[in-house]
Amino acid sequence: MSADGTILVTGGSRGIGAATATLLADQGHRVVIVDIAPEPLAGTSAILWPAPFDVASESAVVTGVAEIEQAHGPITGLVNAAGVFGKMHRIERVRMEQWDREVNIDLRGTFLVARSVGVAMAQRRHGAIVNVASVAGMTSGPIHAYTAAKAGVIQITQTLAAEWGRAGVRVNAVSPGFTRTAMLEAGIASGALNKDLLARPTAMNRLVEPIEVAQAIAWLLSPASSGVTGINLPVDAGYIAGTTWAAYGGLPDAPIS
């Protein structure tokens, strides 16, 4: 990712995408955000692409990326943060139209944008891509389409890293744990999610903040990670490390000072 290029952030009007776009803009990068429901970010220089951007539509992605590059120059960094989170259901209640929507946005959309941007990066022999996956794609849970889609995001990250590595393009993923976005807070407020149950399995006994995921993404885009490609970096407050400790009596409390 060159300092004079453009960083494109999908799903940039809210959640992890918004936190990432704000951080990158504050670091001095030219950042363009796209979203299916575009809204500007207050207090940041990130540029809002005003047209709705449907990551699941091949024609919309190809046209949109070409128009963004024409308006703002070559895209040297990409953050694939657009995504939707499905409802928790027993498998017999999963509706296939809902399954298709989640897979189309979370997996198909990630691939379409990465391909549309990454091919041009490879031709220029320079670029960095970060896909937002999830610890849900590394574990199991009653969010069947979402877990499958995010596992697919982790896999295509490795494949694209191998595909474009010799062309100078790095492709990595981050896997957030339960992150304090507006969507998660709404689930807690409605009673659908329990904050204590979300935090308790983590080694750090807390939720992840959006800025913490954004900082990991910024590092993976930066020259500081120039030797890193094809990885999936969990940013989960120790969820994966701590979740199995329940079988051994639970995680230890902090020592009393």
The residues annotated with a catalytic role in the active site are 146
Residue 173 Rama label (left phi>0; alpha psi -120 to 50; beta): beta
Locus of tokens 């259901």: 89
- Classify residue 105 by its DSSP letter: I
* Single-letter amino acid, residue 51: A
Give the residue among 58, 56, 50 at the shortest CA–CA distance from 33.
Answer: 50
Q: Rounded distance, CA 13 to CA 16, Å?
A: 9
How does DSSP assign 162-225, residue by residue? HHHGGGTEEEEEEEE-SB--HHHHHHHHHTSS-HHHHHTTSTTSSPBPHHHHHHHHHHHHSGGG
